Structure 1
Amino acid sequence: MMKKSDAIYDEITQQVGFIFDEILNLINQYRQEPRVVDAKIKEIWTDFYDGLICFLDQKKLNRNVLRKPYIQHSEKCFLKHRENYERNTENAYLIKLRPKTQFIDPPQRQILTTEERIKLGRLHFHINAELKTYWRSRTVDTKTPQQLWGNFYLSLIYCSGCNDLSQLTAIGNTLIDEMQQSRTSLCSKLYRADYKKITNPLVLHYRTQHRYYGNQIEEKNIYQWRHVWFNPYAQMFMEGIKRQGVLAQNPRCVIEAIIAVFDVISVQVDVSEQIQELKKILRCSDQALIDMGALKTFKHVNLGLEIHPDLSLDMCLSEVLQNRLKTVSLTPQDQKAAWFKEQALTKDDAFTSSSQRPSLQTEVAQLEMITAHQQLKEIPFELMLFERDEEKSKQNKKRQRKSESIKLMRWKHMQKSLQKKKTAVHSKEQNLIEAQLRLLGWIFDLKEKNNKVSSIERYLSSMAKDYLFHIYMYEDAIETMNTQDYEELYESVLNGIDDRDEIQRTSKPNMRQGRAQYAFGRLKSFHTFCIQKYGTPQVSNFKYNTFQRVQLCHAKLVSPQIFNQLKQKLMLKINACSTLQEQEYMQQLQLMYLLAYRLGLRLNEIRGLTFAEIICPELIWKNSQHNQDIQIRITLKNNVYRRLKSQNANRQLDLNAVLLKDEMEFIKQYLNTYFSHINLIQPIDKRLVFSSKGEILSELYITQMTQILFNEIIGKDHNYSFHSFRHSAANHLAIAWCGSKEMVMTYTDYTWNHAKLMRKYLFGECAIEHEGVIQHKWRLLADWMGHSSIEQTASHYLHTLDLLAIDRIYNTPCLVHHSLVNTLLGEQQTKDEIDLRQYIQNNKGFDFYHQSLALKKLQPFPIIKTQSDMTASSYEIIRCYIERLEYKEHIWLQRCIWLAAKWKSPKLSKLKWEQNSTESMDEQYLLEFYDDALKRNFDPKTLVLFTELEQPLKAKALSALAILIQHTKLRKNYIHFQYRFDENNKPKMKWIMGDFIIGIQQLLPDNVKLKTDNYPVNIKQKSREIKVSFRDGNEKNITLCVVFGLMLEAIKNDYLWEIA
């Protein structure tokens, strides 16, 4: 059986033979006109090539890597026919066509073997060792500032792992600014301030300009904030620089300073190759040095740190040090807000926090990506450049290709029509016409440069529709657009195309989407033409040859300190809620914050969470033991309420691994409550975990409440949002899984024991033995966050990778000869070797270290459940007591036992209420009452909530409940009231039956009616008891259910029991 590829090759071979026969006929016909022959041969091959591409598309070979062998086969067949013709034919015509398609294969990613990594690592490890030996010797040359700067930069390269030229320059200038301003605000200690017995490394916070990635924009420049280990060597040399006077640094100064030191130590170690490479770099222009990234001379210096026996640097953090893994640290403002800002809650804060609450809302949000074709539909004008081909045959579904001449004629006719039309329309449409005319002018310019019509059509399809749509959105005339207008226009066009590419990458992860890059080149060509033809201004969008979308990372981190304050302020708002429904919303919000903060869930993932995605058999089976350990997992997948962002967002998260003990208990009680109340008729995949009366909690409400809380904690203009919790989870999990004990205890609210259990639980016993170098923990973190790679997680969410890297590399001796200390600092040390780590910690003269910031020990704020919390409602307390003997000491339970006994037992009808008087009371009455209510399908949500009544109605309902507590007898399906009269036939009671009826009716829903028997009382009758019952819409007696519900409402009001 013939393979599919063989059949395609045979078909191509046959078609090439046909077109070569056509070329031979053409040669015989026009032999005397060589120019005509050459042009027509080229046209025949072009048409064949276009047809070949369509043929391969039909075979689903639509990528260059798949098309390449077939295109090359067609070209070889043609050349073979050409060779046979010229060899076997006398006076053969010299065919000039030699087709050869250029395929640009991307360079293969360099993957080093373990042996290669060790070899390169040993080279730099040896240089590092010799450099430290040089610093321990008497021969250190520090006479000039250049020598000091060279030693400073080499310490950053070989000790701190920083080899990026722009970063080295930025670090130097940052320290110069700090010294000139006499401040140390950008320096901080890595660990908590109370760690006195260990070396607490110093961290420098700096920023460097980046072309397209960062977390701060200033004057149209994008900056990337980073952390670097300000190692003891660097601190010492900086003190010497401070005494000799500082000079502003630039990339050329950095390289020259490094060469100056290498020249000195070249006697001890062979660094001739490094010196030659650095001198070669110096030949570059100043701008080229500014744009340069990592220095190739030190490309593999991180491998020396990886193989260092005293360090535990893994490959991922090694890539962070080498700046090959995109990441940003927090800005100084955000770092201060997250870690160094102290704020105690005052009474005024408590009042303000409790009073600010948005109104409750619900919504269903749907997002849709608008295509370029849909955008054009919004334009109410005719676009001749994209009008439909009226001559296209409806019967023939195959792609039809016209000759170049017909297409060019059509475009020229279109150009004339638009020029005539332009003067007769208003300005809005004039812009569109002018844009089309410019595109047409570009088309004819490309044709004059011998571009194929098929290529020109491809150029138009890549960006013209987006260009026209954004021109339509521009208000003023296109002729008046300035440089800023054009830059914003092109940025919008390319970002819109890239957004659609991103969606395609998400839905089809195995397909490469490069339309934005292709459109970038076409827009650049088009704008160059406009500069020459129309005098449009130069723009910075096309400064580089490749498209890189500016990625501004919104690096925010909700630290444990901020989360503690948020929980406190949220609790104040919960306690100030006026209705139980509002409390329910706020309790749900508290749990939403917890899941986002611990698990890193997105807002739509939480809002659309269903019970089908909760895996916890222990909470479903009613016979399970309450005290047993339970396992709760969330399996995220698409459902009817939301679509996950990508295929990688389908994941399973284990709550037991990452939640604290009180948080697990909180979630367990919440789920336990809702598992017992969910609607069994509704399918499980449609039962929302977070809902109120069947509706999803409003995204607008969550956003507004989150904004209010962060405003109260941080202040305004902070740019924190609900998504900031996801950033926090990523960083805290990275620290808990990959950081040292000091890192865990400094930056998270996990204990070290909890972190070790987490690692053992997630990684396994074997991995823990080699946890310093294992790599799959980073893969696990990316999977946990729903990402395809750790690169994606790092560039968007991880803002502590620099700190984690410093945590791995700082713990190594930093020894110098005492003569160096004496020379630089003016000391009189006599000890031969000095360990700078201890020396700096004990010497107050090092301002950068001793005046730097340090975190303080965190005091956690546990989750507190209010008395009227939905996770501990009155019904839930009774149910948990009856089923699992929980809440034995709860006051609401004691009141229930007392009421059930008083109402149901004739002997106890005159019983007086006293707290703690139920210890010897028979609880059987409550058990019977509970069973009778459940048999009659009791629903705790049947009655109108007391808290939802207006104040005048609350007073009436309260009076009725007081009568119910004191004077009711419950007999079968009725409640009885004994009506007694005195000698004057007046009631002896101090209460009035009418007040009871009016008050109770306030708590009854519309479909429940109160009925009385023997009321008004006939004093002539022997029986003077009034019987009251409650009926539903079908006249069914539901008195037991209603009274049980009234009891649950009555036990919550303390005032009723003060007067009982």
Structure 2
Amino acid sequence: MKKNDLLIAKIREQVDSVFSEMRNQIKKLSDNSELLDYKLNALWYEFYDELICFLEQKKLTSKDAQKPYIQDCEQYFLSLRQDYLSETPLAYPIKVWPKTTFFDPIPRQIRSTEAHLRLGQQHFHIAIALKEYWNDPCHEEITVDWIWGSFYLSLMYCSGCSDLSHLTAIGNTLINAIIEGELQVCSKLYHADYKKIINPLVLHYRVQQRAYGNQIDNRQVYQWRHIWLNPYSQLYIQGIKKRTAQALYTQTPRLVLESISTVLGRLPKELDLNYQMTGLKKLLRRSDAKLEEIRSLTPFENLNLAIELDPNSGLDMCLSEVMQNRLKTVSLTPMDQVRSWFDLFIDQDQTLPDDKQRIIPLHTEFVKPDLITAHQQLKEIPFELMLFERDQTEKNESHKRQRKSERIKWMRWKQIQQRLEQKKLVSGIYEKNIIEAQLRLLAWIFHLKAQNKKLNSIERYLSSIAKDYLFHIYMFTDDIETMNQEDCEELYEAILNSIDDRDQAKRESDPKANHGRAQYAFGRLKAFHTFCMKQYQVPKVSTFKYNDYQRVQFCDAKLISPKLFNQLKQVLTLKIEQSETSKEREYLYQLQLMYLLAFRLGMRLNEIRGLTLAEVICPELIWNHDTQGKIVNIHINLRNNVYRKLKSQNAKRQLDLNAVMLDAELALVQQHIKQCIMHNPVKTNHTEKLIFANDSEILSATYISEMTQMIFDKILGEGHGYTFHNFRHSAANHLAIAWLGSKEMVMTYTDYGWSQCKKMRKHLFGDTAIQNEAVIQHKWRLLADWMGHGTIEQTASHYLHILDLLVVDRIYHLPCTSHETAIKQILQGDIKGSKEDIIDLNHVIQKDRQFDFYHASQAVNKVDSVKLSRPTESKNLFVSTVIHDYIKYKSYEDHIWVTRSKKLATKWMAVKKFQESDFLDDGELITLYEYALKKGFDVKKCLDIPSMQKNVQKQIMIALKTLKEHGKVRKNFIHFQYCFDKQNRPRINWSVESLVLGLKCILPDHTELKLDNYPPDMTRKSREIKLSFINSAFGNVTLCIVFILLLHTIKQENLWI
């Protein structure tokens, strides 16, 4: 990059000034060399910080842009130092050697076919040579080191693991399993019903990490992973078991490297292994502590290409990155794996019985279409230090006037300190924390002044941490002076994470800019804590154990399997049946739909609660309410609205419900959306109509979280850690399997059918992609977009916990054979079922019971489709409840009232004459119900017939029978055909007067019956009698009354005999 000569000149002037000040310090403090060295170093590093700030002000924010100026000023300083030492007699040896190290990124390699082959050629030949060597019947003496080395090389060249820490962890995991007899550290990849195919063995292990994992044990972070325990590795681990006394010792990185060297040294000399052997020797010259820090083995880089180039492998680039541990991901912990996939569930004694479960009262809240920002909350904190917020007018004026003198600023800070000390004496605990935090910051300010720090440097130090420090102290509920080590670590972690979150948000908007405030704040916070340890005796913390900041990312990896989801729905159904009010019943049904959307689509809780009709794309439902029970296309277009703001710009996305939901589930969601549209008073504007709100009330997030936890407590017992957000984890993993897994993976871990997955893939990716689906990459891009992420790396590190299993699903077809003699030497005995010299190890392992890691391993049980929960029938059901729940939730499908209502609605509303043999569709019933809702239907309008007098009941029965047999509903009237004979006498077996008299007895208040064309006009061609019902506002409510009459009719057993 071209340098700006004017900037270089200005920087060199400042270097001259700094060196001149150093010479002055040498004259003053020549007798105290220790203090002098400290002062000289402080002068340089203070200048260095100012240099970085200066360059950033000049818009040189990236390391590449700053590099030439930093290097020039350092070289210039060293030249001044050399001149001083050579020209000055008895010169003081200045111990300042500035040299900033810049790590230039490795140029990205474009993997053309030729370059790809060139990189993988050597490892591909090594893999072939290894397998030929293992097939050789005449091995040299088989030692323990040789077996361990062959074991690790099989993991490297067959399973793709080239990480030294992972290899060590795998070896120790198997040793502990052998010693303790816990052979179930392994599991089979596919479900137990697959008997005729190879069911690969997968090892579950954990490895210690610094900043990423899904388990914390003794304050150490661990990452759980899966790896394919290939047949070679199973053979060699069985050989280790045969030599228990000599072979079972704790594996270390040094032992792993030595054992690998032992085997490579025995390979044919024609194979060029100089690079690998030299690299191993260099590594072995390092100390044990240095070897513990090594991850990837440099001599074996690009080893993955040996597997990628094998025609039996189906790895794509993303899964290759997973195999090489370059893409962060975690597998489930052992307990969460059991809860999700295996039948080894929690002992039922640990689950909560019904009588001990806490009762969670229904809690709703009114919808508030305004958003409170974090910035507004910060303004409410009672700051005394005016360091952070300035009015715009003050900013403008600051450019017009000269900056205040340092003396005035120090005086103002001193006055604030004195005022706060006086306030502290009379303040309460809540205000006292803020005051004490500000006093500590002020004390640190004066401490920095005593060290001759410049004012602008002190202000920059303070601005990097003070605002976040005060905000998190404000959120701390206990006394700040009683904070223990754990409290302090949580405080500093929260501060650094919040700063890093803001950096991350800026990176998304401007990826090229340098946003390293978290790293800078880490150093300042470390210095502030060191000061507080001396001044206020705060405890020592492990947060600053390292010299650089790496945010610990803890992945709460939990999955809700289809089986667990079924159990959840069963418990929720029971809650629905036991609900005491119709309001609670309605909201619990909505909660079931929320679970469904989260489980299938991966939506966040706030996205579901804030979902409006404006975000639903379905013209068939919006403009044509009568879909006649057919499934229509539904999309959800998530975006910001008046009720909620999405987490990021990438969270704005469109979700295709038809692609990922089962038909029965989609029908349930479709019916609910249809009801919302029918109830929306503003037909053309759905912006403010929430999907899951009744009369502007919605389930509170707290109630949903507590209910979710209580349901999981009932299923799994307490302490499981499951939350609503785990539905989102489940959706991401199930979609990854459905889109990228084999048929066996799909049938094992999801409740999708294979034919449905093929339709899903074709619908989402297209025919061309399906032809090359083993290697296409845009599936990963679509998955990241679906989850609302900018990259697949973000999705993998937070949500995907089955990537290791997908890797095994792609590579386990690699051939693994060995010579019968070699196998006998390793096992020190015969093997069963061997008839040929070269034996397929898969077949031997499946038949020979001595391979107990394989035969004692668990197998996932086959997952059935998720069935929609139906409430069981109650003895005290209301007819309105049954019909309502059938229409809205497809409940009570076999109830006699539902059958009668469909039959009666079809008979009344069908254009053609109804025949008893006609197929009963619920389209007419749903249409009538929706029209009734428009006209103001309320269950309270249904009068209680059994409570009336006997003679009145008789009149009502006569009217309902007439209506049932002769009525027809046309628009806003009930029509009755009035026939005459040749003498113009009525030819009917019912009385109009009796009909009218009986109907009037069950009409709601303020409703009148209107009779038209009675008696019939003999001169007219149409001789139909029309009945209609008018409310007090002179509105026609006939369809509402017809639905009420239908409810009365289907309940009367005498009318259906």
Please give the alpha-carbon distance, in whole angstroms, between the structure 2 residues aligned to 1:999 and 1:835: 82
Please give the alpha-carbon distance, in whole angstroms, between the structure 2 residues aligned to 1:411 and 1:752: 71
Partner of 2:903: 894
Partner of 1:378: 381
- Seen in structure 2, the aligned counterparts of structure 1 residues 54 and 962 have a Cα distance that, compared at 3 Å, is farther
Partner of 1:967: 959
- The TM-score normalised by the length of structure 1 is 0.77
Q: 1:404 offset after TM fit, Å?
A: 5.4
Q: Which stretch of structure 1 is more off in the superposition, 286-295 or 195-204?
A: 286-295
Partner of 1:1043: 1041
Q: Which stretch of structure 1 is more off in the superposition, 163-172 or 960-969?
A: 960-969
Partner of 1:108: 105
Q: 1:163 offset after TM fit, Å?
A: 1.7
- Seen in structure 2, the aligned counterparts of structure 1 residues 428 and 919 have a Cα distance that, compared at 3 Å, is closer
| 3-state SS in 1 of match to 2:559 | coil
- Seen in structure 2, the aligned counterparts of structure 1 residues 764 and 1043 have a Cα distance that, compared at 3 Å, is closer
Please give the alpha-carbon distance, in whole angstroms, between the structure 2 residues aligned to 1:812 and 1:14: 60
Map residues 432-451 of structure 1 onto 2, 5 A cutoff.
436=438, 439-440=441-442, 442-443=444-445, 446=448, 451=453
1:300 to 299, 302, 314: 302
2:853 to 839, 844, 848: 848
Equivalent AA in structure 2 for residue 654 of structure 1: D
Please give the alpha-carbon distance, in whole angstroms, between the structure 1 residues aligned to 2:176 and 2:884: 63
Please give the alpha-carbon distance, in whole angstroms, between the structure 1 residues aligned to 2:777 and 2:704: 37
| 3-state SS in 1 of match to 2:328 | coil
| 3-state SS in 2 of match to 1:276 | helix
Is residue 191 of structure 1 aligned with residue 190 of structure 2?
yes
Please give the alpha-carbon distance, in whole angstroms, between the structure 2 residues aligned to 1:339 and 1:608: 32
- Seen in structure 2, the aligned counterparts of structure 1 residues 443 and 619 have a Cα distance that, compared at 3 Å, is closer
| 3-state SS in 2 of match to 1:265 | coil
| 3-state SS in 2 of match to 1:226 | strand
Map residues 45-444 of structure 1 onto 2, 5 A cutoff.
61=59, 63-64=61-62, 68=66, 107-108=104-105, 110-114=107-111, 115-140=114-139, 143-245=142-244, 246-265=248-267, 267=269, 269-341=271-343, 358-359=361-362, 361-364=364-367, 368=372, 370=374, 375=378, 377-379=380-382, 382-383=384-385, 395-398=397-400, 400-402=402-404, 407=409, 436=438, 439-440=441-442, 442-443=444-445
Please give the alpha-carbon distance, in whole angstroms, between the structure 2 residues aligned to 1:757 and 1:198: 25
Please give the alpha-carbon distance, in whole angstroms, between the structure 2 residues aligned to 1:146 and 1:73: 50
Q: 1:140 offset after TM fit, Å?
A: 3.9
Please give the alpha-carbon distance, in whole angstroms, between the structure 2 residues aligned to 1:900 and 1:657: 35
8 Å CA contact retained: 1:130, 1:268: no
- Seen in structure 2, the aligned counterparts of structure 1 residues 75 and 580 have a Cα distance that, compared at 3 Å, is same
Please give the alpha-carbon distance, in whole angstroms, between the structure 2 residues aligned to 1:575 and 1:233: 56
2:837 to 832, 835, 839: 832
Partner of 1:87: none
Q: Which stretch of structure 1 is more off in the superposition, 206-215 or 826-835?
A: 826-835
Partner of 1:545: 547
Aligned length: 957
Please give the alpha-carbon distance, in whole angstroms, between the structure 2 residues aligned to 1:283 and 1:786: 47
Equivalent AA in structure 2 for residue 132 of structure 1: K
Q: Which stretch of structure 1 is more off in the superposition, 590-599 or 409-418?
A: 409-418
Q: 1:530 offset after TM fit, Å?
A: 4.5
1:957-994 C-alpha deviation (Å, 9 max, x unpaired): 89988864433678999999xxxxxxxxxxxxxx9x99
- Seen in structure 2, the aligned counterparts of structure 1 residues 531 and 349 have a Cα distance that, compared at 3 Å, is closer
Q: Which stretch of structure 1 is more off in the superposition, 492-501 or 348-357?
A: 348-357
8 Å CA contact retained: 1:363, 1:699: no
8 Å CA contact retained: 2:752, 2:865: no
Equivalent AA in structure 2 for residue 945 of structure 1: V
Equivalent AA in structure 2 for residue 823 of structure 1: Q
- Seen in structure 2, the aligned counterparts of structure 1 residues 605 and 236 have a Cα distance that, compared at 3 Å, is same
Q: Which stretch of structure 1 is more off in the superposition, 687-696 or 867-876?
A: 867-876
Q: 1:666 offset after TM fit, Å?
A: 3.4
- Seen in structure 2, the aligned counterparts of structure 1 residues 376 and 293 have a Cα distance that, compared at 3 Å, is farther
| 3-state SS in 2 of match to 1:279 | helix
- Seen in structure 2, the aligned counterparts of structure 1 residues 481 and 636 have a Cα distance that, compared at 3 Å, is closer
Is residue 778 of structure 1 aligned with residue 776 of structure 2?
no
8 Å CA contact retained: 1:973, 1:1039: no
- Seen in structure 2, the aligned counterparts of structure 1 residues 811 and 892 have a Cα distance that, compared at 3 Å, is same
Partner of 1:92: none
Q: 1:730 offset after TM fit, Å?
A: 0.7
- Seen in structure 2, the aligned counterparts of structure 1 residues 267 and 955 have a Cα distance that, compared at 3 Å, is farther
Q: 1:1044 offset after TM fit, Å?
A: 1.6
| 3-state SS in 2 of match to 1:863 | coil
| 3-state SS in 2 of match to 1:185 | helix
Equivalent AA in structure 2 for residue 318 of structure 1: S
Q: Which stretch of structure 1 is more off in the superposition, 862-871 or 239-248?
A: 862-871
1:765-793 C-alpha deviation (Å, 9 max, x unpaired): 22222211111111111011110000000
Q: 1:162 offset after TM fit, Å?
A: 1.4
Partner of 2:938: 944
| 3-state SS in 2 of match to 1:458 | helix
Q: 1:386 offset after TM fit, Å?
A: 7.2
Map residues 706-785 of structure 1 onto 2, 5 A cutoff.
706-785=708-787
Please give the alpha-carbon distance, in whole angstroms, between the structure 2 residues aligned to 1:279 and 1:546: 30
Q: Which stretch of structure 1 is more off in the superposition, 600-609 or 777-786?
A: 600-609
- Seen in structure 2, the aligned counterparts of structure 1 residues 1059 and 552 have a Cα distance that, compared at 3 Å, is same
Q: 1:955 offset after TM fit, Å?
A: 5.9
Equivalent AA in structure 1 for residue 938 of structure 2: V
Please give the alpha-carbon distance, in whole angstroms, between the structure 1 residues aligned to 2:805 and 2:138: 34
Q: 1:205 offset after TM fit, Å?
A: 0.8
- Seen in structure 2, the aligned counterparts of structure 1 residues 290 and 625 have a Cα distance that, compared at 3 Å, is same
Q: 1:657 offset after TM fit, Å?
A: 1.9
8 Å CA contact retained: 1:599, 1:653: yes
Please give the alpha-carbon distance, in whole angstroms, between the structure 1 residues aligned to 2:662 and 2:925: 39
- Seen in structure 2, the aligned counterparts of structure 1 residues 581 and 735 have a Cα distance that, compared at 3 Å, is same
CA root-mean-square deviation: 5.5
Please give the alpha-carbon distance, in whole angstroms, between the structure 1 residues aligned to 2:230 and 2:917: 72
Equivalent AA in structure 1 for residue 152 of structure 2: Y
8 Å CA contact retained: 2:187, 2:201: yes
| 3-state SS in 2 of match to 1:190 | strand
> Which structure 1 residue ranges, 5 or more long, are not aligned?
83-99, 881-886, 902-915, 977-990, 1014-1026
- Seen in structure 2, the aligned counterparts of structure 1 residues 475 and 361 have a Cα distance that, compared at 3 Å, is closer
Partner of 1:792: 794
Please give the alpha-carbon distance, in whole angstroms, between the structure 1 residues aligned to 2:470 and 2:887: 65
| 3-state SS in 2 of match to 1:939 | helix
Q: Which stretch of structure 1 is more off in the superposition, 864-873 or 692-701?
A: 864-873
8 Å CA contact retained: 1:364, 1:698: no
8 Å CA contact retained: 2:746, 2:754: yes
1:875-934 C-alpha deviation (Å, 9 max, x unpaired): 9979x9xxxxxx999421323467899xxxxxxxxxxxxxx996399x9xx999999x99
8 Å CA contact retained: 2:173, 2:205: yes
Identity rate of aligned residues, in percent? 45
- The TM-score normalised by the length of structure 2 is 0.77
Please give the alpha-carbon distance, in whole angstroms, between the structure 2 residues aligned to 1:113 and 1:900: 69
